[in-house]
Structure formats: C-alpha cells, structure tokens
Amino acid sequence: MRSNIKYDTKDLWTKDKEHVLHAWSNLQTVREKGSLVVAEADGIYVWDSDGNKMIDGPAGMWCINIGYGRGEMADAIAEQARRMPYFSPFHQMTSPPTAELGAKIAELTPGDLNEVFFTTGGSTAVDSAIRFVWSYHRYTGNKNKKHIISRLDSYHGSTYLTASICGKMTDRSPYFDYITDKDFIHHLPSPYPYRRPEGTSLEEFCDEKVADLENKILELGPENVACFIAEPILASGGVIVPPPGYHKRTLEICRKYDVIYISDEVVTAFGRLGHFFASEPVYDIVPDIITCAKGLTSGYMPLGALIISERLFGAVAGAQAKDSVFANGFTYSGHPVAAAAGLKNIEIMEREKICEHVREVGPYFMERLESLYDLPMVGEVRGSHLMGCVECVANRKTKERFKLELGIGPRIDMHCQKNGLIVRPFEHFCVLSPPLVITKEEIDEMVRILREGMEATMNDLRREGLWDG
Ligand SMILES: Cc1ncc(COP(=O)(O)O)c(C=O)c1O
C-alpha cells in the first residue's frame, strides 16, 4: 500500500534534472522537461511523487516479476544485510546465500547447465559469457575461434563489448566506436516474420534465417567462429518472435560447426514465458550457456548470472586446468544480499506457482492485445505469455513505418500515463510486459487504457495533419 510520505515533487524534479545523467535518455529532453518521479509501488501499480497511480506496464524494465511491495523480500534483504552484507567473491571466497543460489539455479536450468557465474546484471553476464567462451576455445586448442555472431534487432547490454554485439542500429550513438565485422562481431538479418518479404511463407522465411547463420559460419570459417548469441524473443527490438523451429535448427547448425550457442534469457527467464528458463520447455533447446538477470531477483536487487554447461566447464576446470584462472569478475559478483533476494524470489515464485499463473493468463493477455486490431494504426500484435508488443504503422497495407521523429510510442505513453498506465514506448512500438502476478481483470484495465491512448494519439495525428489513416 501507499505510505503517507509527502514528496516535494518540484524539488526532486529540479535536483534530478540538474544533477542526474540518465541512462538511454535524450540529454536535451531531460534538461528541458525533467523526469517522472516514481516514488512508491505495490503489486502491479506505481505512484508518482504527486500520488498519481499507474499500472506498471513494462514491470520496471521487464524485471518486477513477483510484483512490488513484497514484505518478505524486504525482510530477506534486511536480514542478510544485518548478518553479513558483503565479502569479497574473489580468490575462493563465497557466502551461504551465494552458494545456495548457485545450487538452486543449477536445479532449475535444463540439461547439464550446472555451473553458475554471478555478475551484477545482464550486460556483465553477457560480457562474461563471451570471455568464458574465448577462454574455453583457447584452452581447448582453438585459438582462432574468436568471432561472435549476433542478429540485427537484438539487445545484449551496455558494456563496450555487449553494446557492439547489440544489433539495434537505431540505438547506436554516432559518438562511439563500436567493435564491428572488420574486427570480430557480425550481425545476421533479423528473424522478424512481420517484415519478411511479400510472398515468402513462414517456413521459407525460417529456412532463410537458418541458412543466414550457416552461410555466415562458412564465410568466416568454422575454425574462426566462437559463438552465436540469441535472445529467444528479441525483447528490446520490439518483442520479435522468430518463426517456429528457428531456435532448434540454429542450435543444430552451431553444434555442427562447434560454435557455442548462448541463449540470452535476461528477459525471458524467471517466468516471463511461463517457466523459470524458456529454452527447453518453450523452444526445445538446451543451449551451451544461458545468461539471466532482471527476474532473478525480480529487480529488488541488482544481480545477473551465466550458467555454463558441464560439457564446456568440465573441459577447462579441475585437474586439467593446471592453474589456469578465469580472469574475470566484479566486486559485487554473487553479492550476498542480492543472492538472498534471488533465493527469496525463487521461493515466492515456486510457492505461489507464478510460472503456472503466467501459463494460464498469458494466452488471455495476448487475446486482449489482439482485440486492438480494429484500430487502423495497429500493424501487428505479437508476443508470447506476458511479453507483448503492438507495432504501429502509418499504413497497414504497405506496413510503412511512422517517421521516427513523430515519436509515436512516446505520444501513446503520454496519453496512457494520464489515464493510469505506463507503457514502454520506443519508436513506433508499445511494449507491455507487466508483473507476472497480474490478474485477468487488471489485464482488461491495462488494455482498455492502451486502447484509449492509441485512439487519442490517432486523433492528435489527424488533427495536426500528420496522418490520414
Ligand atoms: C536480452 C538482454 N540482455 C542483456 C540486457 C542487459 O541487462 P542489464 O541492463 O541488466 O545490464 C538486457 C537489458 O534489457 C536484455 O534485454
């Protein structure tokens, strides 16, 4: 429930505007318009500092899986902070919650993925996964296996290495020098069914995307390719769901050429697709490495992890390791307080059968989103379980995109916020990935507000002479 604390919005807004450099924000807009001050939260709702209540449509940043306001999470965090808040994870040190969480994650992952390396978030998990892959190849005598294959529209993080692996070209800053295909990072075309060439069936499109991977490996030479990294659903690219069979077939290609398959489950793990990890139960694959973060603690503490198969780990660890060191790690790798939050999060998810709940309400959520198809700006509604996206288009027949500068997503979000819903707005996409505890009634409310926001946006565009749809 909301507290009685009174916030001085103007003061907070001014301090933030003048002193806080925001992540992924337009520097001019933040300085001129400031930010929304989100002060309190409970269940699927947040309140701004003026007391306005809104449904958190994106669950923070795809992470508040168990919902806000969980007293037992706060207690678990406080208890561990009191008992032993931190100790170095380096040089053969660990803590009870870190060891317990490692074992628990190994129990939840598919196949022989049993070796957990903890990080501080998703970017550091992906970055560390690549470094592990390189170490593995060098150690096993494949010193040229260095090249990384990723896909356009993917998002894998914000370190220098992971930002270069990302394939969302609209996110690229003209002021950075990224690692490119001239170096060792390559991007395949996006497995984006809605944007496939006219007249191409879904099956043909899948064949093409699988062939893209094989052709790229052959072009580079299998002896030079270290890994392929893929989100099961390209989340930040606009919830792009690859065609059926794509995951299994791309994994087979990787196996054929001894290319390591990294499944980036930073968004999809911990229930969003109805399972702790989506790879095996949803896509029938057991990758070599899985990366996760976000839902691992439901955002209550920062924590990430990569989970490595015994097949890979066994080749570089133990007696044959001959004093070799995995020269990678963070002060806060496996932070005890974050690990305690991770354990409590999993306990709550298991006790309340949250994955089962997602499997039950997920189809309803998608069905309600599909009810928006009668709005002329809706090009495609897509997603899976509690991961949805509405792609807006200027012309439904030709699938022509709205011009980026019209800021369609942010316009819709602005209307929705006034009516009590935060949408994740970017470009011409409306992404919704609510806390996993959402009920069918709350889904109805969320979709009703989204519909009103889209209707208001269409009216604005027509009135301003920017659209005649
Ligand atoms: C698939 C995927 N990988 C990695 C990351 C990076 O995670 P973080 O922001 O915790 O560093 C994200 C973040 O959204 C993500 O969506």
Q: Residues with Cβ < 8 Å from 211, sequence gap 6 or more? A: none
> For residue 296, which phi and psi values (nearest 5 degrees)?
-60, -35
Domain boundaries, the chain: 36-66+353-463, 72-351
Pick the CATH number of 72-351 from 3.40.50.300, 3.40.640.10, 3.40.50.10860, 3.40.960.10: 3.40.640.10
Please tell me if the CB atom of residue 127 comes closer than 6 angstroms to any atom of ligand 1.
no
Please tell me if the CB atom of residue 165 comes closer than 6 angstroms to any atom of ligand 1.
no
Q: Which atom of ligand 1 is nearest to the CA of 293?
A: 10
Pick the CATH number of 36-66+353-463 from 1.10.8.10, 3.90.1150.10, 3.90.550.10, 3.40.50.620: 3.90.1150.10
Ligand 1, residues 62, 123, 290: which to mutate, most atoms within 8 A of Cβ? 123
Q: How far is the CA of 123 from the centre of ligand 1 (A)?
A: 6
Identify the pLDDT of residue 323: 76
Sheet-wide strand order for 424-426: 378-384, 387-392, 429-432, 424-426
The answer to whether the 36-66+353-463 and 72-351 domains have the same CATH topology is no
Identify the pLDDT of residue 31: 85
Please tell me if the CB atom of residue 126 comes closer than 6 angstroms to any atom of ligand 1.
yes
β-pair type (147-151, 225-230): parallel
Q: Residues with Cβ < 8 Å from 253, sequence gap 6 or more? A: 210, 213, 214, 217, 228, 259
Q: How far is the CA of 293 from the centre of ligand 1 (A)?
A: 7
- Per-residue pLDDT of the chain (469 residues), as tens digits, is 688 999 999 999 999 999 999 988 888 888 888 889 999 999 999 999 999 999 999 999 999 999 999 999 999 999 999 999 999 998 889 999 999 999 999 999 999 999 999 999 999 999 999 999 999 999 999 999 999 999 999 999 999 999 999 999 989 999 999 999 999 999 999 999 999 999 999 999 999 999 999 999 999 999 999 999 999 999 999 999 999 999 999 999 999 999 999 999 999 999 999 999 999 999 999 999 999 999 999 999 999 999 999 999 998 888 777 778 888 999 999 999 999 999 999 999 999 999 999 999 999 999 999 999 999 999 999 999 999 999 999 999 999 999 988 999 999 999 999 999 999 878 899 999 999 999 999 999 999 999 999 999 999 999 999 999 8
Q: Residues with Cβ < 8 Å from 190, sequence gap 6 or more? A: 151, 152, 153, 154, 167, 234, 237, 240
Angle at 468 between CA 464 and CA 469, to 5 degrees: 125
Q: Residue 358, Cβ neighbours under 10 Å: how many?
A: 23
Q: How far is the CA of 122 from the centre of ligand 1 (A)?
A: 4
pLDDT in tens, 344-394: 999 999 999 999 999 999 999 999 999 999 999 999 999 999 999 999 999
Identify the pLDDT of residue 2: 83
Cα-based distances in Å from 71 to 15, 341, 348: 30, 12, 11
Please tell me if the CB atom of residue 236 comes closer than 6 angstroms to any atom of ligand 1.
yes
Ligand 1, residues 266, 292, 424: which to mutate, most atoms within 8 A of Cβ? 266
Q: Enter the tokens of residue 339.
A: 């690990």
Q: Which atom of ligand 1 is nearest to the CA of 124?
A: 11
Cα-based distances in Å from 165 to 156, 179, 184, 258: 7, 8, 10, 20
Identify the pLDDT of residue 92: 87
Please tell me if the CB atom of residue 408 comes closer than 6 angstroms to any atom of ligand 1.
no
Identify the pLDDT of residue 284: 97
Identify the pLDDT of residue 26: 84
Please tell me if the CB atom of residue 235 comes closer than 6 angstroms to any atom of ligand 1.
yes
Q: Which helix (H) or strand (E) holds 418?
A: helix 408-419
Round to whole Å and give the CA distance between 395 and 467.
10
Q: Residue 269, Cβ neighbours under 10 Å: how many?
A: 29
Please tell me if the CB atom of residue 296 comes closer than 6 angstroms to any atom of ligand 1.
no
Please tell me if the CB atom of residue 269 comes closer than 6 angstroms to any atom of ligand 1.
no
Q: Which atom of ligand 1 is nearest to the CA of 294?
A: 10
Identify the pLDDT of residue 337: 98
